[in-house]
């Protein structure tokens, strides 16, 4: 799956992680009954305005895909002193990973890791190998 917008790498990776349909996850209307999912249009609009998905919007995006924090996924900061340990920990585990962008100086980028292979949604320069990434965060999936 490749990005549709300059800033939707996180949404693409969540879609890959749940083997979902991008249009159904992110391009639907807002639910009118509790728990009032934000709906895709709001995610896409917010993503464009903020130039990415950040903060509470990350958990809301996972929720839109049916994943619950600390039940279906865990956010793990990766410290520069233990990057090799983190890469070893990821072998065989699915995760969404944050690393420096290869295409925007000073920016960050999100890729999907299926436990064995990197899936980079960027239509530009892409990460191909976990070993080439300077990981910053991982969202480990159940």
Ordered by start, the domain boundaries in the chain are 9-141
Q: What pLDDT shows up at residue 136?
A: 93
- 59: buried, middle or exposed (CB in 10 Å: 19+, 13-18, 0-12)? middle
Predicted local distance difference test score (pLDDT) of residue 24? 84
Please give the chain's pLDDT, 142 residues, in tens.
999 888 899 999 999 999 999 988 887 654 444 444 555 556 777 777 888 888 888 998 999 899 999 999 999 998 776 777 888 889 999 999 999 999 999 999 999 999 999 999 999 999 999 988 999 999 999 9
Alpha carbon distance, N-terminus to C-terminus of the chain: 21
Query: Can you give the pLDDT at residue 34?
Result: 42
Per-residue confidence (pLDDT) for residue 87, from 0 to 100: 82
Q: Considering the entire predicted model, what is its pTM?
A: 0.87
CA gap 24, 32 in Å, rounded: 16
């Amino acid at each position: 799956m490749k990005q549709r917008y300059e800033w939707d790498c996180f949404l693409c990776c969540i879609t890959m992680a749940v083997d979902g349909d991008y249009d159904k996850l992110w391009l639907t209307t807002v639910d009118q009954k509790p728990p009032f999912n934000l709906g895709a249009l709001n995610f896409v609009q917010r993503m464009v305005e903020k130039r990415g998905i950040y903060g509470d919007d990350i958990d809301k995006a996972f929720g839109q895909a049916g994943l619950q924090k600390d039940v279906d996924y865990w956010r793990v900061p990766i410290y520069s002193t233990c990057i090799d340990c983190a890469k070893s920990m990821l072998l065989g585990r699915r995760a969404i990973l944050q690393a420096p962008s290869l295409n925007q100086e000073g920016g960050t980028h999100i890729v999907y890791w299926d436990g064995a292979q990197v899936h980079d949604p960027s239509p530009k320069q892409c990460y191909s190998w976990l070993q080439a990434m300077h990981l910053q965060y991982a969202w480990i999936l159940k």
